Amino acid sequence: QVQLVESGGGLVQPGGSLRLSCAASGSIFSISDMRWFRQAPGKQRELVASITTGGSTNYGDSVKGRFTIFRDNTKNTVSLQMNSLKPEDTAVYYCNADVRPRVHNIFYAYWGLGTQVTVSS
């Protein structure tokens, strides 16, 4: 079984910073793309950032220039550095990864349970 576990959420003032981390564990053969999504109350889940195995990144328009996604392929982790946070960044942040489990020949999408980020004064 494969698990994704997020950490690092919390309460921060506008303009502040937070770093989220996500660790993948279990029976993993390889991991392809890794992503961060977020979902605010009453809104659809949206893609925040993604990163390929080779390090190519993509960001949602609302976070470009403020957030940075990076990963450590040796530790099966992905992180999201969030700077200049705004109240509209308040949401539950989810880690997502395409994982090929051992003894499988295809990749499956796995999700973490999410971590709350609240930006408020």
For the chain, 121 residues long, give each residue's pLDDT as a single digit of tens.
899 999 999 999 999 999 999 999 999 999 999 999 999 999 999 999 999 999 999 999 999 999 999 999 999 999 999 999 999 999 999 999 999 999 889 999 999 999 999 999 9
Q: Quick check: helix, strand or coil at residue 119?
A: strand
Name the token pair of 15: 């303009």
In this prediction, residue 78 carries a pLDDT of 98
In this prediction, residue 110 carries a pLDDT of 97
In this prediction, residue 103 carries a pLDDT of 84
* Residue 27: Cβ within 10 Å count: 12
